[in-house]
Structure 1
Amino acid sequence: MQTTPLSPEDPVRIGGFELLGRIGQGGMGQVYLGESPGGEPAAVKVIKPSIVDSTSRQRFAQEIEILKTVWGARIAQLLDADADAEQPWLATEYVEGPDLGKHVMTHGPLPALLVLSLGATIAEGLGYVHKQGLLHRDLKPANILLGPNGPKIIDFGLAVFAESSASLTAANTVVGTPSCMPPEQANGEKPLTSAVDVYALGTVLLFAATGHLPYHATNIHVLFRMVTDPATAPDLTGTPPELVPLLTSMLSHQAQARPTVSEVVQHCRALVEAQGLKLAQARRRLTTYTAAPPQEFLTLLPAAASEGVVSPLPVPSRPADAPPTDESTSEAAPTLFLTSPHQTPPAGPPAEPEPTALAPQSTQRTQSTQDEQGTPDKQDPSNAQDLPRRARDTGRPPARSLRHSAQARRTAQQLREAYAARAGF
C-alpha cells in the first residue's frame, strides 16, 4: 500500500503514536499510518477539527465502545482511543494489504474458488460480530482488507446493536452505502436484523466475482428506487454458474428469505469441497493470490534464466478442471508457483474453477487504504536486494554446469521458499 507524506498542518504525534504518513480520508476525518512506542504499526483515525462537536464526539465514542466489543480473527482490532481529546482519535490494528475494491479494479475479478473462500471467511467473521448483538451495517468492498493473514473487516463506524431503537442519526435519514444496502435498510425500516449484513456480503461477493454491484445508476434517487423495488432483480451478469444460487438467495428482497451467516459458510464449504479441496486450503490460496506481489515469482526466473540457470523444478501440465494433486507428496511444484523462463506468462486472471497461475501484472502494484490507502509491501521482491545478483563478468567461459554454483544455490533456495510459502498444505 502507498502512503502520502504528512502535510504541514498534520500532527506528528497522536496519543502515544508517532504519525508516519497519510493512508486515507473518510467522511469524519483523516486516517494516518502510526507507530506505537514499541514499534507496532497502527491505523490512527482522527476526527476533522471542523466537525468536532457534541454529536460527532458522541458518535465517535459509540464507535470506540463498539470496537471494544467486537472480536475475532477477521476483525481489525482496537488498540487505543480517546474520544475526549481535543481531536478525538482511535488506533486500530494496521492491515498491510489492499481493500477488495481496489484489488478487483486493479487486477480483475477473483476466480470462483477464491470467491467462495472469501465468502466463508467473511461470513464466519460476521457471525462473531452478530453473537455480540451487533450489526456492521456498512459492509462493502472497501471495508474488506486483503491482508497477509487473510481478509479482515474494518470500519464499524455505522455499527449498531441489533434490535436497538437508539440512533444518532436524524429522523428519516438513511446512513450507509446505497449500492450495497438491502431494501429494508434503504427504506429506513427498524429494527434491522443480521440479514442486512448477509445481503451486503452478497453484494461484496458479487463484486469480487464480476467486478460490478447488483444495482448501478448515476442518479442516487434512481439507485434507491432500484434497490427498494421488489420487481427489479439484481444484476448477476457474469456470475460463475456455481455461485448464482448462493448469491441469488443472499440478495433476496425479503430479509427472511436470505440464509444466515452460518448457512453461507456451509454453502461455501460444500462448493469448495466439491472441487476436491478443503476450505482451509482454499483460504490459503486466497491469501496467496491477493496478498503476494503478483510478479514475486515471475521476476525471479527471468533473472536466473539470463544467466543460463534452468529452473530446477519442472512445470506440471494439468487441465484446469482436473482434481488437485496431493501437494504434500508431489515432487513437482504446482503451476501456481512456477513458470518456465522460456515461456511468455499468460495474461489475465487465472482460469476457473481453480487458480493455477498467478495473473502477471505490472510490478508497480496499485494498492488501497486502511480506509482507502496504505504502505508498500515490505517483502516486495522488486527491491534490488531481494533479486538474484547478476554474475560478474570475469572474462572466463561459463562452467559446463551451474548445478553447484552460488547463483544456482541462491535460486534454488528462493524457489523452495516461494513454494513453501504458498503450499496448499
Structure 2
Amino acid sequence: MAGRLGRVGPYVLLERLGRGGMGEVYLAASRRGERVALKLLRDPVDDPAARLRLEREVRALRRVNSLHVAKVLDAHLSGDRPYLVMEYIEGETLLEAVRRGGPLPEPELIRLAQRLAAALAVIHAAGIVHRDVKPANVLLAERGPVLIDFGIAQVVDATRVTETGTFLGTPGYSAPELFANQPAGQPADVHAWAATVAFAATGRPTFGEGSAEAQMYAILNGKADLAGVPPALLPLIRAALHRDPARRPTAAVLADRLARLARAVGDPQRRIGPAAVRPARPHRPVRVPVRPTVPAARERQPEGAGQAAEERALRAEGGAVALARPRDPADRRARAGESPAEAVAQEATAAEPVEPTKRLRRPGGHAALAVLALLAVPGVVVSVIYPLATFAITAASSAVVRALWVGHWLVRRRSSPRTRLVLRALTFPLLLAGSLVTVVCWPGLPAAIAGFATLWAVTGTGQLPPEWWTQVMPVTIAGFAFGAVSALIIGREVERAGASLPALRRTDLRTLALLGGFVALCSLAVQAVSLVV
C-alpha cells in the first residue's frame, strides 16, 4: 500500500483516513517507523503574508502540551504540496460514537465537556484559535477526548471567501459572527464547543439538519435545539451560544465551572436532589476562574508572548486556582432545596472573576536541571582525575533513563497509582541490569565509534598513542562526543516512548540522558582553566 500511495517528504503514506474541503488526511510512517497523521493541504500557500501567519500558528501549536490536544509534530508549508504532521491517535470520533450508541450519559457528558473546554483553554492561552471544533474533530481516545484537525488551512483560504462566495468550515458548528465576514476568534471556538456538547447530549445537530442556509438562519436567530440537554448544563450551553461574542464565557471559565460540576455529580455523597445528605464543610476552598471573559477585540494574544503565554496555558488547563472562602455557594443553594450540580451550573454566568493570589506551576524542568547540576559535581571531580570515567557516567545515565521509561511502560495499564509505584520499584533493579547490557550495543556502539574517531582526530598523529587513556584533554573531548551521541539516541528513544505514554516525564529523562556529556563539558572547562593558570 505504501508503494501505491507514495511518499510526501520523508513520510511514507500508508492509508487515507479522510478527505475534507481543506485537504486529505493520511496515516503515514516516518523514517523511524512512527505512525503519524499527515494532513496534505489542498493548495500551495502562495500569499507571503498568509504563509507567515500560518508558520507562526504552527510554531505556536508545537508548543501546546495537553493530553486533550493532538500534538503537531512537523510541518512543511513552502513547497507545492504543503502538509502538516500530527500524532496519530486511535479511536472513533464523537460523531461516530453518538450515531452508533446515542446520546452520552450525563456524567460522561459532563466529563467530555470539561475536558474539551480545558483543551480550548490551553490553546487559547497560547494565542491559537482552533476554528473547526465539531463532533467529527473530537476523538474519543483511551486517554479521553482529543481535539484534532485544527482548521489552520482556513488562515490561508480566508482571503478567498469574498471572491468565491463560499463558506469555510462547518455551518452547523460556526458562530454567527463568521457569517458577517468577521474573523474567527476565541469566542467562535466557545460557540462551537457548545454546539458540539449539545449534539453529544441530544444526538441531534444543534441547529438542525437542513441546508446550510437553514442552519445559518437558525444560528443567526439563536434557534438552538437544546431539548434533552441535562438541566445542569443548560446555563453553560446557553451562555456559550450567545450571539454576542463578548458575552460568551471564556474556555477557562467553562472548564472551571464544569470541573466543579463534575465533582458534584460524581461524588456519591452529593447526589442530585434536595434530599441529599451533605457533609459539613465550614471552610471549603472554592475554585474560581483565572481569567475574566474578554471581549472579541482581545481574542488573540500579541505575537512574541513567548514564555508568558506558555505559563498562562499551564494555568488555563487547570482553569482555576483555589482560594479560601467561608462557604461554598453551591452548599448555600442546596440548603434552599436546589441540587449542588444545578447550583454550580447557575453560577456559571453570574459569578464575578476573582484575581488569583498565586500561580500554579508544574514541577519538572527546573527541578531536573537542579538534579543534573547536583549529580554533575562529583562526576566532574572524578572525570578530571580519571578521564575515562566520563564514558562510565554516560553509560550509567543512559541505562537509568532506559530502565525508567521501560518500567513506566510495563505498568501503564495498572489503574492504581500505588500499585504502579510498587511494581516500578520492585522491577527497577532487574530493568537496570538489563539496560546496562543493552546500552553496550545501543547507543554504546555508535557512541564509541564517534568517541574514538574524535580521539584519533584530536591527537593529530594519524594513530592512537600507546597509552592514549593517559591523554587527559583528548580523552575528555572524546568523552564529550561519546556523551553527545548517547544523549541524542536516548533522547529520541524517550520521545518515541512518550508518544504512547502521555504521563511520561520526557523532559526530565532527556535531561538525565545529558549527564555524561554535561560532565565531560565541565571537565573540559576545568582543564582549560588549569592550562591558562
- Report the TM-score, using the length of structure 1 for normalisation: 0.57
Write the distance in 1 (CA, Å) between the matches of 2:34 and 2:149. Answer: 20
Write the distance in 1 (CA, Å) between the matches of 2:199 and 2:21. Answer: 23
Write the distance in 2 (CA, Å) between the matches of 1:81 and 1:418. Answer: 30
How far the C-alpha of 1:141 sits from its partner, in A, is: 0.8
Determine whether 1:101 maps to 2:95.
yes
Aligned partner of 1:196 among 184, 188, 198: 188
Aligned counterparts, 1:23-422, within 5 A: 23-48=17-42, 51-52=43-44, 54=46, 62-70=53-61, 71-73=64-66, 74-158=68-152, 167-171=158-162, 174-190=167-183, 192-229=184-221, 232-277=222-267, 420-421=414-415
Write the distance in 2 (CA, Å) between the matches of 1:61 and 1:156. Answer: 17
How far the C-alpha of 1:142 sits from its partner, in A, is: 1.0
Match of 1:296 in 2: none
How far the C-alpha of 1:422 sits from its partner, in A, is: 9.2
Write the distance in 1 (CA, Å) between the matches of 2:233 and 2:124. Answer: 24
Write the distance in 2 (CA, Å) between the matches of 1:155 and 1:225. Answer: 26
Code of the residue aligned with 1:233 in structure 2: it is: K
Local SS of the residue matching 1:179: helix
How far the C-alpha of 1:43 sits from its partner, in A, is: 0.5
Code of the residue aligned with 2:57 in structure 1: it is: I
Q: Is the 8 A contact 1:66 1:156 kept in 2?
A: no
Q: Is the 8 A contact 1:67 1:77 kept in 2?
A: no
CA distance 1:53–1:183, change in 2 (3 Å) = closer
Local SS of the residue matching 1:109: coil
1:96-124 CA distances to partner (integer Å, 9 max, x unpaired)? 11111111111222111111111111111
Write the distance in 1 (CA, Å) between the matches of 2:182 and 2:92. Answer: 33
Write the distance in 2 (CA, Å) between the matches of 1:23 and 1:136. Answer: 20
1:186-235 CA distances to partner (integer Å, 9 max, x unpaired)? 22234x54221111100111111111122114222222112112xx4311
Percent sequence identity over aligned pairs: 31
CA distance 1:6–1:195, change in 2 (3 Å) = same
Write the distance in 1 (CA, Å) between the matches of 2:169 and 2:20. Answer: 13
How far the C-alpha of 1:260 sits from its partner, in A, is: 1.5
CA distance 1:194–1:90, change in 2 (3 Å) = closer
Write the distance in 2 (CA, Å) between the matches of 1:263 and 1:14. Answer: 41
Code of the residue aligned with 1:87 in structure 2: it is: R
Aligned length: 276
Write the distance in 1 (CA, Å) between the matches of 2:238 and 2:22. Answer: 34
Q: Is the 8 A contact 2:44 2:79 kept in 1?
A: no
Write the distance in 2 (CA, Å) between the matches of 1:420 and 1:21. Answer: 32
Q: Is the 8 A contact 1:64 1:90 kept in 2?
A: no
Q: Is the 8 A contact 2:2 2:12 kept in 1?
A: no
CA distance 1:169–1:418, change in 2 (3 Å) = same
Local SS of the residue matching 1:45: strand
Unpaired stretches in structure 2, ≥5 consecutive residues: 269-274, 278-340, 342-410, 420-533
How far the C-alpha of 1:159 sits from its partner, in A, is: 7.4
Mark the structure with the bigger radius of gyration: 2
Report which stretch shifted further, 14-23 or 204-213.
Answer: 14-23
Q: Is the 8 A contact 1:136 1:158 kept in 2?
A: yes
Q: Is the 8 A contact 2:28 2:35 kept in 1?
A: yes
User: Which has more helix, going by share of residues?
Assistant: 2
Write the distance in 2 (CA, Å) between the matches of 1:67 and 1:81. Answer: 7
CA distance 1:28–1:196, change in 2 (3 Å) = closer
Write the distance in 2 (CA, Å) between the matches of 1:138 and 1:147. Answer: 19
Write the distance in 2 (CA, Å) between the matches of 1:28 and 1:131. Answer: 25
Q: Is the 8 A contact 1:98 1:145 kept in 2?
A: yes
1:58-113 CA distances to partner (integer Å, 9 max, x unpaired)? 86775454232121212212222222334222211111111111111112221111
CA distance 1:160–1:133, change in 2 (3 Å) = farther
Write the distance in 2 (CA, Å) between the matches of 1:114 and 1:64. Answer: 36
Q: Is the 8 A contact 1:130 1:194 kept in 2?
A: yes
Write the distance in 2 (CA, Å) between the matches of 1:66 and 1:98. Answer: 27
CA distance 1:184–1:47, change in 2 (3 Å) = closer
Match of 2:281 in 1: none
Write the distance in 1 (CA, Å) between the matches of 2:83 and 2:266. Answer: 47
CA distance 1:39–1:418, change in 2 (3 Å) = closer
Local SS of the residue matching 1:275: helix
How far the C-alpha of 1:255 sits from its partner, in A, is: 2.1
Match of 1:364 in 2: none
Q: Is the 8 A contact 1:174 1:188 kept in 2?
A: no
How far the C-alpha of 1:254 sits from its partner, in A, is: 2.2
Q: Is the 8 A contact 1:186 1:227 kept in 2?
A: no
Code of the residue aligned with 2:181 in structure 1: it is: G
Code of the residue aligned with 2:180 in structure 1: it is: N
CA distance 1:131–1:419, change in 2 (3 Å) = closer
Code of the residue aligned with 2:58 in structure 1: it is: L
Q: Is the 8 A contact 1:75 1:154 kept in 2?
A: yes
Write the distance in 2 (CA, Å) between the matches of 1:142 and 1:422. Answer: 32
Q: Is the 8 A contact 2:71 2:86 kept in 1?
A: yes
How far the C-alpha of 1:20 sits from its partner, in A, is: 1.7
